[in-house]
Structure 1
């Protein structure tokens, strides 16, 4: 056995190698899985679009679907430029009762719930369990009563630290799904408005 100072130094260096490797792994784990999202290029004709339900999520003026006090209506309410109250009323009613619009609206609620579930993964999780067992045995003549009731309860808590970015990527995905559901809702409303306006103009 080499007990010289040089030998002891080599042993200490070898013992510190696993610690250094573990530290490097932990530091590399701080970065999220997969590449960061890069917004795709937007066509020039769509770059200025800010109407629809998505506009209500940002502080814009005037608000989506409202006029600015005398100017032309926004892109999302183009039919108001015709100044036809009947057409506006028909489109509003169609958008209110159409089942496709309602389905798209429910999809927004579903996507919002999925986003909340994904976000909850960042926080500690707890579980409570309780139960009751009743055992009724056959009692023989003169024998003891073997019936009994057992109660049980349990509590557990766990927290999975998001080292590898799994939860963060899940939140990004759920958030994208949420905004996509809002965009689909707007698409359905635009389609309904176009169909009503087309039918109205054909009989007008």
Structure 2
């Protein structure tokens, strides 16, 4: 699988105008040639609702509830609303500002022998427009727009993270329910063995040591069953928080684990990484930092504003809007700092340092994304082989247990051998279940690492 992320990095270098800071290519990650691991399966492409191919209505319902009430998603949506408001403010700064003013006062005219107080009323409109000579307002607007893009992607990332956590928690819960059944069956089997051993002990056919061994095994498995019950409570309450509900009012009834496992395609296009919302957000944040370098550089330019006002002034309120009371004026205001003690230069240096920091953050995010994909692909590749080995071990252990049980009932083997066979069968069944659970977890992890499945951008 060839990685073709060069256009993604080239877009970063071309972003912004020539007047702002440039991004050092050495700070950006270099795309590797191939992934280390692949999964040899054929699979249909996942849909936008990536969890639906698991074909579990309960999972579908949990994800829908989480998207409606999860607090992390709501917080990300609130931050997006704040960014959009800031963009509106930045856009307004580039438009003419029109305001109305009115006033009333009473004063005397100086220089008269007997000054007489008089009323004065005024009303008018004021117009102001700043000429964006250095592009400061444009860069501020561009930076705010990129902040909105970053917040949109962070909201998408928050949704994807919550969806993945819900899926992982739910699948872990279903795996735990199956494991609880295995342990309960084992407890029941040890209970039957204990009853048989007690009968044989009363008849003098077995020693007290054998009876104590069976009791110890039964107690150990009862303890393990209670431990799994405790773990289930923890998973259930964690799911309650993810769906934004009170844990005391949330419950999932145990049922058979029938969730489908989506197969991973044999080849994954590297362009999928471009869809990752956290990478897209880091890219937008880097470009916003680049735009803010332009804002800092524009401080060296003079500020120039056009102003105009028109209205009326009169000592009589009734004459305020008559033509004889009208007044108007236009003006041009300019300002250029000459000495600021190095403040503007420091502002440019700070903006460039922030841009460099964002470039490093993007590089780190990119490398972590590659690591996530490699980890999950490697895990799935090995879990396929491990699943086959576990299946063979479970089959062999089950056959050995049947033979040991028959021989024990016929007095051909010791109770210790039967207990060892049962312990081995339990361990292999639970190990196989854990491998199966790990496959589900790694599949969800790969979907998360790829930004929501294996459908390419724009599909």
Q: Which residue of 2 aligns with 1:143?
A: none
Contact 1:33 1:164 survives alignment (8 Å): no
Q: 1:73 aligns with which of 46, 52, 58?
A: 46
How far is 1:154 from its partner?
3.6
Instruction: Determine the C-alpha separation between the residues in 2 that align with 1:106 and 1:160.
Output: 31
Question: As a proportion of its length, which structure holds more helix?
Answer: 2
Aligned equivalents of 1:32, 1:132: Cα separation in 2: 52
Question: How far is 1:132 from its partner?
Answer: 6.0
Q: Name the CA shift for 1:189/1:34 in 2 (closer, same or farther; >3 Å).
A: same
Unaligned runs of 5+ in 1: 1-30, 46-70, 136-145
Q: 1:130 to 1:78 in 2, by over 3 A?
A: same
Deviation at 1:85, TM superposition (A): 2.1
**Aligned match of 2:78:** 106
- Give 1:95's aligned residue: 67
Equivalence for 2:20: 34
Which of structures 1 and 2 has the bigger CA Rg? 2
**Cα deviation, residue 78, structure 1:** 2.2
TM-score by length of 2: 0.26
Helix, strand or coil for the counterpart of 1:159? strand
- State the distance in 2 between where 1:155 and 1:37 align: 46
TM-score by length of 1: 0.55
Question: Deviation string for 1:172-194 (max 9, x for gaps)?
Answer: 10011000101110111112112
Deviation at 1:91, TM superposition (A): 0.7
Distance 1:78 1:188 in 2: 15
Structure 2: gaps spanning 5 or more residues:
1-16, 33-43, 107-116, 175-459
Residue 18 of structure 1 corresponds to which residue in structure 2?
A: none
Comparing 82-91 with 169-178, which one deviates more in the overlay?
Answer: 82-91
SS of residue in 2 equivalent to 1:163: coil
Whole-angstrom CA distance in 1 between matches of 2:94 and 2:22: 19
Structure 1 residue corresponding to 2:98, chosen from 126, 129, 137 = 126
Query: Root-mean-square deviation (CA), in Å?
Result: 3.2
Structure 1 stretches of 4+ moved >4 Å:
36-45, 148-152
Structure 1 residue 95, shift from structure 2 partner? 1.4
After TM superposition, list the pairs within 5 Å mapping 1:182-201 onto structure 2.
182-201=152-171
Distance in 2, matches of 1:37 and 1:122, equals 27
Q: Residues 97 and 32 from structure 1, CA distance in 2 versus in 1: closer, same or farther, beyond 3 angstroms?
A: same
Cα distance in 1, alignment partners of residues 147 and 30 from structure 2: 21
Instruction: Determine the C-alpha separation between the residues in 2 that align with 1:89 and 1:95.
Output: 10
How far apart, CA to CA, are the structure 2 residues paired with 1:161 and 1:132?
33
Secondary structure of 1:128's counterpart equals strand
